Structure 1
Amino acid sequence: MSYPIGTPGKPWNDEDKKAWLALQSVKRSYSDDVVSQLDSLSEKFDVERYGTLDYDINSYPLFILKSKNWQNNKPCVLVTGGVHGYETSGVHGALAFAKKSATDYLSHFNILIAPCISPWGYETINRWNPTATDPNRSFYQNSPAQESAAIMQYLADNSIAPYAHIDLHETTDTDNSEFRPALAARDAKTHDNWNIPDGFYLVADSERPEHEFQTAIIKSVEKVTHIAPSDENNQLIGVPQTQFGVINYEAKKLGLCMGLTDAEFVTTTEVYPDSPQASDEICIHAQVAAITGALDYIVNK
């Protein structure tokens, strides 16, 4: 599939990236949709500003919710949303968990929630940041993405080592119609499109898959929405299933957000908002069910 920016066969240069950026536009408000909700959560959480994204086009304050009465003898649970800003239910699922369910687990855990790691991506409905960098491939030392570097620095500065990390994502039809063609053009590499799974699935870390943990999450979510069936090759997004609704990625090697820490229990959720069987509300509920399913498993194991 051709892409309107760049020269075929050549990776994008700075001018190509500027041309791509010039095509992006604000479609919704991070301040109105996300920041405005934080004050209402201040009774349950300390609302901390952990950084600022500074781009020529705009700057964005970054916020994290930290459970009050933090106790160092409790395990810490980290929930991240909006690493890919266009994946809406990740952002609003994190906020919904903070509002409706988090207090059920405060006796067991310290809880950290970063609801929108990529505000510019949220506003422009983008996978990348303004430099055409994917934050979810940038969680490593000397990260090229401000979004990734900021949350890593916050955890390091506060000596926080999560026991569990649930990273909230979506797989949408635009992965094939826009983002993979853009990636192929940016890198001058072939990126074959794959069938978009119709339903919810998980991406586990191949170095710490914790199969029973992933199973518990799937069982929790299937009460809310359908789990994606595998394709004719028993795969999801071109990757073999390790169990129903679960595939594995090498999290740290790929610079994924779920490789951000050495947490024992990690997973990345993927909902499919374009499914005829789904809705925005269902996708948000599925994200919350994934988090609660994960925490229920840890509490009861």
Structure 2
Amino acid sequence: MDADDGTRFAPVISGRRRLFSCHRATLSGRHIPNSLQAVDECVAARVPRLEIDVRFLADDAMLVFHDGRLDHETTGTGKVDALDRPAAAALRCRQDERVRLCFLEDVVDRMRGSNTVLQVDLKLMRPITRARVRTLQAALEPVRSHVLVGSQAHWNLRHLPGLPLALDPTLQWHSNRGRHDNLLPRTLGLHGLWDDSPLATNPRASSTEYIESRVEDINGLLPAAVEWMVDIATIEHIAALGVELGELLGRRGVSLAAWTLRGAEPDPAGLLARLYCSGVHTVITDVPLAAADAATALASSSRL
């Protein structure tokens, strides 16, 4: 890829700059997700933003890893958070045993001097300790000017003052009719979103009143958030109710990111058109090259 290929991933659509974020640092798909090789490829291509998953280990080391268990993707078994750093460093990726797992500090070292935004998806759900706050902040200090820390656990993000924060509101509401019953929230509201708030089952609230009120409620959980990361199905469901989620958030100075655009999407340009009409600024994707091509086609079409 050419050195200036990064501009492909920040297209101007309908007069607005949009971004693609490389999910799990995946660009071409030639490298294992969340690996240093994948990060290196993204940085070399000057992508505007890449995302990695971070989990704390038993000794407070920060492993770049998505799942809560090791069995599927590594040569190890058991829970990730039961490991310490030496044990994690000894593991290999099952897909290619030449590739080791990496740590947050490794990724930060690779991104020094880069303008690529590092999006950290913090997987920790238990309350974060002061020691872990200090460890995370120290690790991110070299890229502090271009980092974004996101999580579903707003209670942990509150303890990270001075860092740009992104809230994933899945635990508050989402659209997923085919989901398992043991997930939160537990109530399917009258407007089709899973949501345990009293307003979700209040027949006197219109769709617009409900959505606007819940945006205000959820925003209050983390007023410092500069971005919401919302799954695509929920954004589209809210749009079908006649509400542009991105516009509502924009009034509060909050940007909207959509996750996750995948390779199985039959009409990526059509999906992007709908997301952009909903006010989405950033699309998190496993297939950024195909997504960028779809955005280029969209920019020259009449679909917006």
Structure showing greater Rg: 2
Q: TM-score, normalised by structure 1?
A: 0.29
TM-score (norm: length of structure 2): 0.29
More contact order relative to length (CA 8 Å, sep ≥ 6):
1
